[in-house]
Amino acid sequence: MPGMNIVIKSEGITQDTKCKFDQIQNQMLHLPSYSYQSVLNNHHVMISYTSYGSYPIEVFKTKEFVIVLEGLIYNLKNGDIEKKTIELALAIRDKKTSSNAIRQFLIQADGEFVIAIYDKINNELNILNDIMGRLPLYYYQDNNSLIVSREIKFIVPFLISPNLNKDAIMEYLLFGFAFSENTLMDNIFRLKPATQLSFNPEKNRFLKEEIRKIDFDNKEKLPKGNMVNTLKKLFLDGLKNRIDKTSKLKPIISLSGGLDSRATLAGLLKLNIKPEGITNPGGGEEKYAKHIAKDFNIDITQTEFKKISNYENYNEIVFLKDGLNSCTSAKMIGNLTEMYEKFGDHSIMFTGLMGGEILRYSNLTSGLKTEKDLTNFLMNSKDNYTYTTENVCKMLNINKNDIFDYLTDYFSSYEEKNIYKKYVHFKFEKDYKWAGEGEDRNRFFFWSITPFYYFPLYQYTLSINENKKDTLLFRNFLYALDKRTCNVPYYNNKMSLNNMFGLHLLRLAERLVRNPIIRNIAQSILLFKKNKKKDSKQIEDIRQLLLDKLKNSTDIQKYFSLKDTILVINNEEKINYLLRFLTIFLYIDFAIKWHKSF
């Protein structure tokens, strides 16, 4: 992953630390176009970054500050960014006003970025990220050091011992992501959105503060006016900011048969940008994407189907994203490589990521009263991202009641009062971790943009009644953008977007599954239908990979019960869950070997 790498130590930077720093970065040049650049190297601090030609990273140096801006602030002109960041640095220096200054900066800055500010006068490092935490950033902190990087693998060799986080393993097995700041590595954390880290090595003072939390309670009143028109305006406002900032890059759009990517395509064309389409094979969805491209008169390329043939394919995705992308996405590396070879890194990829998550996913609105109810629902949920609690208990040799208490305590820590808002918070965290880490995978090759993360748009969607967020609302939003978006049926359910009677019936069904009992019944029916189609050869190959890894690795057995995990693996028939296990197994082996190699 291109991006910044920082080590700051109270006891000073030793020669061994310098050598290790350089050695690790040399192993993080993932493509021939990558290079790394040293920004600052003094007695206490080393700041550097890896990048490729078009990756957005800027350095501003004055007599008082060294500032590194990674990412893009879309609504600031290039000439204003240096001025604004220096003003921010000066405001941070004044401890009485720093939090408010950062808060105002983050509210006003529409972007996806991380900023590192080194104050030469006070010998202090401050780091902050954007209001949605769009660029994953990881850190480790102990009594005399702070290590920060866009890749966990940069930090691991600096650990005394490469232990895995047992709670995070449990969370990952249950839901496919680690909670809060957790990563799979013990003591390495992912920075929450809109958070400031501060470290002064001379005073050995570390501070962390969440500057502005996302308001899931929707305390702000719903803006007046037509809902669909407001969504359209906010969507186009955010997209225009992104287009204006990246106008020198070749626009490409990842098209599927779903609804989100066609919204982005319609928005681009509305703003006079004609991208080239790209679609990936699988399940016939590419046929829908090609029809959409034809209706909008854009060129489209289909990547080649790449079969995952051996565990080296899985190792690659685990290595690149440090276990935070499941092996289910291993084939995407081949697809992205093909796109990179065709378009080069002087391109920008537009997607529709997060559209469904914020505007039509059927979040619960009935059937819950307390955190215990929410815990009970999630532990017994049939949603495809959840895994059976009983099997997790067997694999990790833990008690089901302990998991129940752990989850209940976690949901109780959410600040929302309304139980359904706590559920929305949890779903955001899942999407922020699962989908966000997946999007970050794209940035290994080229910058990636989705307009649905434009914060004013996201904030507005939080104020919409959850019961009104459904396929019909999204269809009307699409129709307002461009009528042609409704010409091709929705791939997921094959329904025509011009069949208003069918869409109203679907609205009723979507309303029903907002109740946990009805939802689980519906999910059980869907899973039964899906389970009829199995690639038994691939499942058995993965099963054998898992068993070989487990039996031959004492490191894996340190976290997983050998006997019970073998039984779970042998009885599991769903490929996605087997690949979830494989992701963790491969990462345990990788992390320990990586640590030993430096």
Phi-psi region of 182 (alpha: psi -120 to 50; beta: other; left: phi over 0): beta
What is the average per-residue pLDDT within 551-578? 97
pLDDT for residue 536 = 84
Mean pLDDT of 457-474: 95
Say if residues 128 and 114 touch (Cβ distance below 8 Å): yes
**Bigger pLDDT: 523 or 167?**
167
pLDDT of residue 222 exceeding 80: no
Domain annotation for the chain: domains and CATH numbers: 3-210 (3.60.20.10), 222-509 (3.40.50.620)
Q: Is pLDDT at 426 greater than 90 in this prediction? A: yes
pLDDT of residue 533: 54
Which of the residue ranges 50-59, 523-532, 548-557 would you say has the lowest mean pLDDT? 523-532
Average pLDDT, the chain: 94
Asked which of 151-155, 206-210, 537-541, 594-598 is least confident by mean pLDDT, the reply is 537-541
Identify whether the C-beta of residue 146 lies closer than 8 Å to the C-beta of residue 34: no
The answer on pLDDT for 570 being more than 70 is: yes
Q: What is the per-residue burial (b if ≥16 Cβ within 10 Å, else e) of 192-211?
A: bbbbbbbbbbeeeebebeeb
Given this model, what pLDDT does residue 341 score? Answer: 92
Q: Residue 225: what pLDDT?
A: 78
pLDDT surpasses 80 at 220: no
Given pLDDT bands bounded at 50, 70 and 90, which one contains residue 274? Answer: very high
Confidence bin at 534 (pLDDT 50/70/90): low
Q: Alpha-carbon distance 152 to 197, whole Å?
A: 17
Q: How far apart are CA 27 and CA 16, in angstroms?
A: 17
Per-residue pLDDT averaged across 29-49, rounded?
96
β-partners of residue 301 are 278
445 Cβ neighbours under 8 A, 6+ residues apart: 31, 336, 337, 339, 340, 345
Lowest mean pLDDT among 275-289, 395-409, 563-577: 275-289
Q: Any bridge partners for residue 598, and if so which?
A: none
As a whole number, mean pLDDT of residues 362-379 equals 97
Confidence band, pLDDT 50/70/90 cuts, at residue 531: low
* pLDDT at 185 > cutoff 90: yes
- Predicted pLDDT at 331: 86
Question: What pLDDT is recorded for position 334?
Answer: 87
Whole-angstrom distance, CA of residue 89 vs CA of residue 439: 30
Name the pairing type of β-strands 111-119 and 124-129.
antiparallel
pLDDT over threshold 90, residue 504: yes
140-149 pLDDT, tens digit each: 999 899 999 9
For 541, counting Cβ atoms within 10 Å of its Cβ (0-12 exposed, 13-18 middle, 19+ buried), the class is middle
Mean pLDDT over 479-498 rounds to 96
Q: What is the mean pLDDT of residues 427-433?
A: 93
Q: How confident is the model at residue 221 (pLDDT cuts 50, 70, 90)?
A: low
pLDDT at 309 over 60: no
Instruction: Over range 358-366, report the average pLDDT.
Output: 94
Model confidence at 79, pLDDT cuts 50, 70, 90, reads confident
Q: Span 526-554, mean pLDDT? A: 83
Confidence of residue 434 (pLDDT cuts 50, 70, 90): confident
Residue 310 has pLDDT above 70, yes or no: no
Q: CB within 8 A of 282, min separation 6: which ones?
A: 305
- Once rounded to an integer, what is the mean pLDDT over residues 150-158? 98
Determine the angle formed by the axes of helices 285-295 and 260-270, rounding to 10 degrees: 20
pLDDT of residue 33: 95
Predicted confidence at residue 98, as pLDDT, reads 87
pLDDT at 498 exceeding the cut of 60: yes
Contact 418, 217 (CB under 8 A): yes
* Residues whose CB is less than 8 angstroms from the CB of residue 85 and which lie 6 or more positions away in sequence, other chains included: 60, 67, 69, 115, 117
Confidence band, pLDDT 50/70/90 cuts, at residue 308: low
Is the pLDDT at 487 greater than 60? The verdict is yes
Reported as a pLDDT band with limits 50, 70 and 90, residue 530 is low
- Quick one: tokens of 532? 């009829």
Q: In angstroms, rounded to a whole number, what is the distance separating the alpha carbons of residues 73 and 57?
A: 11
Burial class, 169, CB count within 10 angstroms (exposed 0-12 / middle 13-18 / buried 19+)? buried
